[in-house]
Amino acid sequence: MRRLRRTDWVRRLVRETRLLPDDLIWPIFVREGGGEPVPVASMPGVFRLSVEGCVEAALRARDLGIPVVALFPFTGTEKRDEFGTEALNAHNLVCRATRAIKKAVPDIGILCDVALDPYTSHGHDGILREGRIVNDESVEILCRQAVVQAEAGCDIIGPSDMMDGRVACIRAALDEAGHGDALIMSYAAKYASAFYGPFRDAVGSNTLLKGDKRTYQMDYGNAEEAVREAEQDIAEGADMIMVKPGLPYLDIVSRLAHEFAMPTFAYQTSGEYAMIMAAAGNGWLEEERAMMESLSAFKRAGAAGVLSYFSPRAAALLAR
Ligand code: PBG
């Protein structure tokens, strides 16, 4: 075996999988107002950007060969209410950023999250009634949110809410509104996870969240259930599926990628990013090597690509 590992050229020759800029989706956080990027404390190197800053990020992504940026809004408490009404505002932050990017960088893909958590006063992804997240009423609003986003120019609708039956309803709503070309990348297997903490800081829902999301996001003990989730989303019309978090659920990534032969993506979450950055910041591991190794693991597991906060840095490194 070691003959195949002796030199750099032979290692490159026999390498089975490789990471490309084409595999990367870059999640970016957008905020109101102009001016300089605002750092996210728990995610060193990640910032909340103005709409203008998002356009610059999209240009950078395009130049690096990154095919898609994913947009997430930071929403202050003043724009939040019990029903997440702001999600349906055609001029909300995500819609404005989407329009601005589409205008300036028409050849990059835009992914938008469908879920109410950036807009609800309680930080949940759906509608809360008597202490419970109600399913069908939430789905109705999520469908309208998806149409509003597609209208703004969003190319990929990413339902991350984990309500039952939402993919079918969103597909129907998009088609009916004349957005038959809008893709759906469903968060098919999304686990109730501690690894979303820094993200919730970044979008401003961490301190607001009442309770947890365990009545709709998956239990981390389950793998068979992930297969059922993916099966349903695909039957309902998902074009691509996603597993989230990433590294701690690599078994699920591999299983879904091989079982369904559908483009399967992994989300290297905010918490996974923060872990690597924190350890590297302490000098406990090598940042760049850990970044590339972790991203490449998704490809080896069978993923079509990865959503990662490391995307621009990894793409720049790959271009060298
Ligand atoms: C919202 C959403 C979350 C993430 C993406 N979309 C957080 C959550 O479900 O609470 C997490 C992303 C990350 O941690 O990087 N539905």
Question: How far is residue 94's CA from residue 170's CA, in Å, rounded to a whole number?
Answer: 18
**Does any ligand 1 atom lie closer than 6 A to the CB of residue 270?**
yes
Among 46, 160, 200, name the best residue to mutate to test ligand 1's pocket (greatest count of ligand atoms within 8 A of Cβ).
160
Q: How far is CA 80 from CA 76, 140, 202, 259, in A?
A: 7, 18, 15, 40
What distance in angstroms lies between residue 282's CA and the mean position of ligand 1's atoms? 26
Q: How many CB atoms lie within 10 A of CB 281?
A: 13
**Does any ligand 1 atom lie closer than 6 A to the CB of residue 113?**
yes
Calculate the CA dihedral of residues 149, 58, 200, 287 and round it to 10 degrees. Answer: 150
Q: How far is CA 34 from CA 52, 105, 205, in A?
A: 7, 19, 22
- Give the DSSP H or E segment for 188: strand 183-190
- Active-site option among 190, 210, 213, 299: 190
Task: Verify whether residue 244 is a known catalytic residue.
Answer: yes
Nearest CA to ligand 1 atom 6: 160
**Does any ligand 1 atom lie closer than 6 A to the CB of residue 124?**
no
**Does any ligand 1 atom lie closer than 6 A to the CB of residue 155?**
no
With both helix axes pointing from N to C terminus, report the angle between 51-64 and 311-319 in degrees, rounded to the nearest 10.
30
Nearest CA to ligand 1 atom 3: 196
**Does any ligand 1 atom lie closer than 6 A to the CB of residue 310?**
no
**Does any ligand 1 atom lie closer than 6 A to the CB of residue 196?**
yes
The residue segments making up the domain with residue 177 are 2-318
Q: Report residue 140 as tokens.
A: 């109705």
Residue 299's nearest CA partner among 263, 273, 245 is: 263
Domain count within the chain: 1
Q: Burial-class residue 72 by CB neighbours within 10 Å (0-12, 13-18, 19+).
A: buried
For residue 7, the one-letter residue type is: T
Residue 175's nearest CA partner among 236, 105, 248 is: 236
What distance in angstroms lies between residue 196's CA and the mean position of ligand 1's atoms? 6
- Active-site option among 79, 213, 244, 299: 244
Residue 250 bridge partners (DSSP): none
Q: What is the CATH number of the domain that holds 15?
A: 3.20.20.70
> What would the DSSP string read from start to end of 18-78?
---GGGEEEEEEE-SS-SS-EE-TTSTT-EEE-HHHHHHHHHHHHHHT--EEEEEE---GG
Residue 270's nearest CA partner among 188, 201, 178, 174 is: 201
What distance in angstroms lies between residue 190's CA and the mean position of ligand 1's atoms? 9
**Does any ligand 1 atom lie closer than 6 A to the CB of residue 138?**
no
What distance in angstroms lies between residue 161's CA and the mean position of ligand 1's atoms? 9
What distance in angstroms lies between residue 118's CA and the mean position of ligand 1's atoms? 10
**Does any ligand 1 atom lie closer than 6 A to the CB of residue 272?**
no
Q: Report residue 316 as tokens.
A: 């720049």
From first to last of its 320 residues, the chain has per-residue pLDDT tens of 999 999 999 999 999 999 999 999 999 999 999 999 999 999 999 999 999 999 999 999 999 999 999 999 999 899 999 999 999 999 999 999 999 999 999 999 999 999 999 999 999 999 999 999 999 999 999 999 999 999 999 999 999 999 999 999 999 999 999 999 999 999 999 999 999 999 999 998 888 998 999 999 999 999 999 999 999 999 999 999 999 999 999 999 999 999 999 999 999 999 999 999 999 999 999 999 999 999 999 999 999 999 999 999 999 999 98
